[in-house]
Every structure is written in C-alpha cells, then in structure tokens.
Structure 1
Amino acid sequence: MKNGWTNFVIGTVRIRIVGKGIERFLNNCVRQQIMISNVHKVDGQLATATILLKDVKKIRILIRNADCKIYFIRGRGFPFLTKRVIKNSGFALGFLSFFIILGLLSNMVWKVEISGAEPQTEHQMTKQLAKIGVKRGEFQFLLESPEKIQRYLTDNMNNITWVGVEVRGTSYHFQVVEKNEPKSQQKTPYQHLIAKKKAIITNLFVEKGQPLVKVNDFVNEGEVLVSGIIGNEKNKKVVAAKGKVYGETWYKSEVEVPLKTDFQVLTGNGYTKHYLDFQAFKMPLWAFNKEKYASKVTEKVEHPLYFFKWKLPLSYEKVAVREEQNSQRVYSKQEAVEKALEIGRKKLLSTLGEDAKIKGEKVLHQEQDNGKVRLSIHYQVIENIANTQPIIQGD
C-alpha cells in the first residue's frame, strides 16, 4: 500500500482483530492476495491492521473459518468523504448557495446616478437607459460596455454634448454635459429684409414692411427686398420687416461614382460564445460552436465580476462571431449617371433650408475615366433668400 493517492481514491478501512487465530487469519489474507498493512499486535489476542475497502467482502468470508473476530474502527478515503458530504449536503448546498447568491448580487446594478443634467434631461436619460437594460436589478455582465452605452446616449439624445460613463462596483455613474443653446440675441425691433445671394424673385409673402421688389426681378446679394420703413416722407413709420421672399438660385456640383465597388457584407450566419475568463485560461460556458468561416467579424464584450466592491480576478466574456463575404456592386454607365444625380441632389438638399426645393438640374459635363463616371451638374433651386438687417439710426 505504498501508493497513498490510489488508496485514497479506493478507500481504506482500519480493523481490529480479536481472538486466538490472529496469525492464521493474517496468513490466509496473504494467500488470498488481500492487501493488508500497518499491522500492529497489541497482545496475543488483539491486533489492528488496515485493508482496502474493496477487500471487506473477502475478509468477511475468511473470518468465518478463523478463530477470531474483526471490528471496523474507521474508514478513510474518497468513498467515505463522499458519504459524509452527502450526509451533510444540506449544509454544503446552503453554504455554496450563499456564495453564489452573494456573487450574483455583487454583479447586479443597484444604483444609477446621473449628475450635471437638468431634471427633464435626467428623466429622458433614465428612459433611454431603461431601453438598453441599465436599471436597478439587471446583471452587469448582460449589459453593453460603457463605451457602447455612451455612444447610444449621444446618438439618441439631442440635448447633450457629452456623457461620461463610469462603473463603480454595483453603481453606474453618468456625468452629463448639456448643450448650451445660445441665447437669442436681442434683436432690434426695426429691420429690413435683404437678399442673402443672387436670385430671380419667384414669390413674396410679406407680413410687415414695404416690398421693394416684385416677381421676376433680379436681385444681388445684400439688396433690400422688404423695407422696414413704411409711409411717405411726411408720415414715416419704422417697423420690423417680416416675411419670406423666394427666389431662383443656382448651384454647381461635381460628383463621381465608381462603376465597380468591392465591399464586405454580413451573411446573417453567426453564433455567440460565452466564457468565464480566469486570466490564465478561459472556460467556455455554452454555445460550443466549432463552425469555421472563411471571413468573419468578431466582437468581444468583457464584464469584470465583483464580490461586494472588490474586483475579482475573473470576468464574463461574450464573443459574437458573424460571417461576412466579399461582394461587388457593378453599375452600367447609365446606372452610374443616375446614381451620381441622386447623390448630387441629396448632397445639395442637405446644405439648404427646409423649404428649399430643386426646380431643375442639367448635366454640364460628363466623362468616364479610370472606372469612374464624373458629372458636373448645374442646379436651379427655389429657396427663401431673405435675411434680416437691423435698421440703425440715420437710415
């Protein structure tokens, strides 16, 4: 019994042998190849020894023909340890459950704190955070990373300039910088409406003031369209000219579109893996997918785990793998021209006012070179060309 580790797994039993035939009993054990060790003879009719648990049945048979009796003192090894654990399973399970529940509670969101925001903005942010699960009672390792939460808030809230996200144990802290809307400058109560660019007048809607132009007139930049001075020389009155003056303006745009474009697209196939990261190694939890993709996009999100306020040397990691493939978009020359016209229109409208519209467009120049179609486009636009100019003393 020199192999202590093997004996621990199998299990050993310490026995007491009482009677006159102790030597004969021990010799019979050796003949039956029963491993017996640590034999200690107390006197002529008493001895102790150690046997393997698996040989207990053989010992019971041999003792029937021996002039002695055996008594089991104690058992050692894995079988007896397992039996004791099962016997005390309630305590063991309770102890284990306590630490599991305590660990889960240490990784839940217990507080969401927002500072630097007005009450209305704070309420709006709280609703946005709840949509992505950032609220009390949610597990931290199921939430997005602080960087993604920050990006989500800045993309979905127009009244904030910047938001900082910090995780402190079981609390999420948000530091907000709101947009400072510039205070409307104190406008003079008296003003003209002037042209902000060259145009041909197409329509006028004057609420206050004296129109100085009419439809089809050509005006230059800075020319007065509606005067804030009304009446005659003897009875003048100064008001704040108000209204809209629409004119036809002109723009030129250069647009190019490649005939062939290579890009990557997601196929929709993919899987997600979950790990417990122990720094030295990663233990997969579920989703043991071994599918191989020729080209893929991998996104990792890691959440550290805490026990109370202490950060543990392990973390939960979520890995999303998505298959992608190469794709090529090919335009004919006519399709490329149509696409260029569409791009040009969108680009121009993005720089104009809300009520502006494109009246007409004309391709001034078109060429195809190095796999690209280039267009030079002239646009006719109808837009409000009126701008305000204060009436100063002496006008």
Structure 2
Amino acid sequence: MKNHWVTFFGGTIHVKVEGKGVERFINQLTRSHLTIWNVKRQGSLAVTFYIRLQDLQKLRHQVRGFDCKISFLTGQGAPFLWKRTLKNAGFFAGFFLFFVVITILSNVVWGIDIKGASPQMEHQIRKELDRLGVQVGKLQFFMDDVQTIQQKLEDRIPSITWVGVDLNGTTFQFQVVEKNIPTPPDKLPPQDLVANKKAVIVDMFVENGQKMVSINQYVNKDQLLVSGIIGNEHGSKQVAAIGKILGKTWYKSDVQMPLQSDFQVYTGSEKRKYSLQIGSVSIPLWGFGKIKYKNYDTEVEGKSIKFLKWTLPIKFKDITIREKEIVKRTYNEKQAINAAKEIAQSDLKGKIPSDAKIVDEYVLHQKVENGKVNLSIYFQVIENIAKAKPITQGDSE
C-alpha cells in the first residue's frame, strides 16, 4: 500500500483467514476489487493480510459463501489510536490538569522579601506594593515589570534613595537604600562671596560676613559681594561668608514657531488583545477581530511563563492598540508668538536654578517669514548670584 497517510487516517485491520477455501477466498476478494496487502501464508490453512477499515463490511459479506473463519488480529491508524486515547482520557486529562496547575502556581507570587529597610520603611513599602498590585497569591501576568515597579517605588516614596527589584522564581526581592539624614556640614574655611554673573542686586540675606554691595547696585562677574574679613582698624579676623544675594539677571532666547504644523494625538479609543507566544507561533486568547483603526500605535508587553524553576519558551503577551489621528494645528501670528514665548520659558527653566524666578520678558525682534514666526526674547530672572571664593593669604593682607 503506497499511500500510508491515507491508510493511517482511514484505519487498517490486520485480518487472519482460516479454512480449506483460503486461496479461492483471496481470489474472490481480488475479483471484487477489495484492496488487500501484505498477504502472508500462516501454515497450510491460514492466511493473514491487511484491509482498510472502510472495507470491513464488504469483507464480511464476501466470506459468507466460503468455508472460512475470519479473525481480526489488530487495528491500526487514527481511528484506533483515538479509541485508545479515549480509554485513557482520565489519565491524559489528569496529566494536563496537573501541568496547568503547576504552570499557574509557578507564575504566582509566593513571597515578598524586603532587605535593607527599617521596620517603618518596610511597612510603608508593603503598603505601596499593595497599591501597585504586587501581592502574595497574585499572578505575575497582571503586574508591572520589575523596572516599572522600581521606578514607581522610587517616585512615590521620597525617603528612599534607591530600591533594587528582582523577581527570583516566585519571590520578589527588594534591596532598599534609605536616605540618610544629612549630617551638619563641616566647618567652612574662610571665604568670600562673589558674583557668578552680571546682575542688579534686588535683595540680600547675609548670615555671616561683611556686606560689600547694596540693593539696586549693578555688579560685574567675580565682583566681591560679601567679605569674609570682618573687624575694624584695631583688629580683624577671617570667617566663612555665608548668605544669599538675589540679583536680576538677563537671558536671551531665539525661537521659531511654524504657523501650521501637524502632530499626532491619541483619540482615547483602544483595544486589548491577549495571546500565547510559543516560539514563533502566536495563539490568540482574547481580543479577536481586525483592527478597525486607520492609524494606531501598538504596545506589546510579554511575560515569560515558568514551570517550577524553569522558564518555558512560552510568553503571555498583553497587546494594547491605541487609535491615533493626525491633527493640523494652525496659529495666527498672535497665537504663534504666545506659543513661542511658552517654549522659550520652558527651555529657560531647564537651564536656570530651580529656585530662580522669571519676572519679566521683552521681545527684541519679531518677524514672520516662510510660514514661521521668528522671535528674539530677553528674559529677566531673579536668582542667587553668590558663589564662594576661598580667601587666600594675599587677600587678607
């Protein structure tokens, strides 16, 4: 029989025929166009051969006119394999259920270990982990990854300097470094306070030292503001000048703002899909159907599935499809100028100290050219302009 796949799926039977008319019976089967193969003689009165399962009834019909006895030795192929599988269905179901249960338990969080934290800090971290959904008995599929958990903990608990997060099997391990209360600074050496840039003095708060400038005075860079040498003609001493000198400084910013621009925004519509990734094959679990969005972004988060201590080549994938659209923004000249000012201010805030304050702005140059507004803006900023300068032996003389 050449087509083994056909006979496998259809099923075959190994038949034994015994009796005096065996040869005539075999000839009759051949004349009746019944397909038999592997015909072998078993002694003088018996023959064995294979026949298709679908020809079984025809075989029984043909044997009625002969003095022969038919017995069926074995059945082979898919129908018999399926029958044997059904007989052992309980075993296979139990094995499959065992595998599923062990796989699920291997992907559940069974422990949260926190090291390096005080009892109060550990309690605070555990409360925050509960808010993040990191809890004992919860599936890891529905938690953030370790990098996201680490970032959220550092953002939400300001009293920790750093926290290391590691998922070891079914246990989350956290290594915490708490912020230390700053120790009082060492005694400062004798120093002056000088200007770090040109400015007009607007206010002064001097803790130690002798003022050398006054409010509304214009000062140059490196000009002495507060002297660390105090005393009179009868005697003097060197101290560490300490204080804050607020000065009005100036910054120039050049900005371009197009009158028309295209940008992408999310509409708020999204679709979630879940699937199992086995090697290069993806098996959808939830979220079927085509994506109806014309423009969209796809975010894929994959988490490996574990079995006991081993990581299986299977991933649970959480896919988020967010609809987006192209929006054309058109400014008139006034709106473009205001938008350019906001951009310039935002850029300047990233350059000046956090305690500095922008108090005024002046447009030096304004021009509309090639569909763009070009601006040159001067900003007035109030900031601490004092910087420490050690007193040398020559300064004290």
TM-score (structure 2 length as normaliser): 0.69
Q: 2:117 matched to 1:118?
A: yes
Contact 1:133 1:143 in 2 (8 A): yes
Please list the CA deviations of residues 240-273 of structure 1 after superposition, one character each: whole Å capped at 9, or x if unmatched: xxxxxxx996866647351344433234455435
Report the Cα distance in structure 2 between the residues aligned to 1:308 and 1:180, rounded to whole angstroms: 40
Give the match for residue 242 of structure 2. Answer: none
Contact 2:109 2:140 in 1 (8 A): yes
Please list the CA deviations of residues 320-344 of structure 1 after superposition, one character each: whole Å capped at 9, or x if unmatched: 3434444342221211233345567
In the alignment of these two chains, the number of paired residues is: 384
Q: 2:134 matched to 1:134?
A: yes
The alpha-carbon distance between structure 1 residues 344 and 179, as it changes in their structure 2 partners (threshold 3 A), is: farther
Give the match for residue 75 of structure 1. Answer: 75
The alpha-carbon distance between structure 1 residues 380 and 26, as it changes in their structure 2 partners (threshold 3 A), is: closer
Q: Helix, strand or coil for the counterpart of 2:43? A: strand
Give the match for residue 389 of structure 2. Answer: none
Superposition pairs for residues 369-388 of structure 1, below 5 Å? 372-373=372-373
Report the Cα distance in structure 1 between the residues aligned to 2:114 and 2:299, rounded to whole angstroms: 29
Give the match for residue 102 of structure 2. Answer: 102
Q: Helix, strand or coil for the counterpart of 1:42? A: coil
Report the Cα distance in structure 2 between the residues aligned to 1:57 and 1:267, rounded to whole angstroms: 67
Contact 1:254 1:374 in 2 (8 A): no
The alpha-carbon distance between structure 1 residues 276 and 248, as it changes in their structure 2 partners (threshold 3 A), is: closer
Contact 2:117 2:177 in 1 (8 A): no
Q: 2:61 matched to 1:43?
A: no
Q: After TM superposition, give the deviation of residue 86 of structure 1 in Å.
A: 0.7
Give the match for residue 283 of structure 2. Answer: 284
- Worse-superposed segment, 355-364 or 95-104: 355-364
The alpha-carbon distance between structure 1 residues 181 and 374, as it changes in their structure 2 partners (threshold 3 A), is: farther
Report the Cα distance in structure 1 between the residues aligned to 2:303 and 2:315, rounded to whole angstroms: 6
Contiguous gaps of at least 5 residues in structure 2: 188-197, 204-214, 227-245, 386-397
Q: After TM superposition, give the deviation of residue 364 of structure 1 in Å.
A: 6.0
Contact 1:39 1:50 in 2 (8 A): no
Q: After TM superposition, give the deviation of residue 101 of structure 1 in Å.
A: 1.3
Report the Cα distance in structure 2 between the residues aligned to 1:250 and 1:118, rounded to whole angstroms: 45
Please list the CA deviations of residues 283-305 of structure 1 after superposition, one character each: whole Å capped at 9, or x if unmatched: 23244555487754333322222
The alpha-carbon distance between structure 1 residues 349 and 11, as it changes in their structure 2 partners (threshold 3 A), is: closer
Give the match for residue 242 of structure 1. Answer: none
Superposition pairs for residues 352-367 of structure 1, below 5 Å? 366-367=366-367
Contact 1:141 1:303 in 2 (8 A): yes
Report the Cα distance in structure 1 between the residues aligned to 2:304 and 2:158, rounded to whole angstroms: 31
- Worse-superposed segment, 29-38 or 266-275: 266-275
* Letter in structure 2 aligned against 1:19: G
Superposition pairs for residues 336-355 of structure 1, below 5 Å? 336-341=336-341
Superposition pairs for residues 9-88 of structure 1, below 5 Å? 9-37=9-37, 38-44=39-45, 46-88=46-88
The alpha-carbon distance between structure 1 residues 222 and 121, as it changes in their structure 2 partners (threshold 3 A), is: farther
Q: 2:252 matched to 1:256?
A: no
Give the match for residue 332 of structure 2. Answer: 332
Report the Cα distance in structure 2 between the residues aligned to 1:150 and 1:342, rounded to whole angstroms: 33
* Letter in structure 1 aligned against 2:101: I
Give the match for residue 153 of structure 1. Answer: 153
* Letter in structure 1 aligned against 2:55: D
Please list the CA deviations of residues 41-77 of structure 1 after superposition, one character each: whole Å capped at 9, or x if unmatched: 3333x44333221111112222222222322233222
Q: After TM superposition, give the deviation of residue 384 of structure 1 in Å.
A: 12
The alpha-carbon distance between structure 1 residues 282 and 125, as it changes in their structure 2 partners (threshold 3 A), is: farther
Contact 2:276 2:314 in 1 (8 A): no
Please list the CA deviations of residues 17-47 of structure 1 after superposition, one character each: whole Å capped at 9, or x if unmatched: 3433323322222222222233323333x44
Contact 1:255 1:340 in 2 (8 A): no
The alpha-carbon distance between structure 1 residues 200 and 303, as it changes in their structure 2 partners (threshold 3 A), is: closer
Report the Cα distance in structure 1 between the residues aligned to 2:375 and 2:159, rounded to whole angstroms: 39
Report the Cα distance in structure 1 between the residues aligned to 2:202 and 2:165, rounded to whole angstroms: 53
* Letter in structure 1 aligned against 2:44: D
Report the Cα distance in structure 1 between the residues aligned to 2:36 and 2:380, rounded to whole angstroms: 108
Question: RMSD across aligned C-alpha pairs, in angstroms?
Answer: 5.4
Contact 1:201 1:219 in 2 (8 A): no
Please list the CA deviations of residues 214-254 of structure 1 after superposition, one character each: whole Å capped at 9, or x if unmatched: xx999999999xxxxxxxxxxxxxxxxxxxxxx99686664
Q: Percent identity?
A: 39
Q: Helix, strand or coil for the counterpart of 1:175? A: strand
Contiguous gaps of at least 5 residues in structure 1: 188-196, 203-215, 225-246, 386-395
Report the Cα distance in structure 2 between the residues aligned to 1:176 and 1:320, rounded to whole angstroms: 32
Contact 2:18 2:70 in 1 (8 A): yes
Give the match for residue 302 of structure 2. Answer: 302
Q: After TM superposition, give the deviation of residue 131 of structure 1 in Å.
A: 3.3
Superposition pairs for residues 215-226 of structure 1, below 5 Å? none
Contact 1:146 1:165 in 2 (8 A): yes
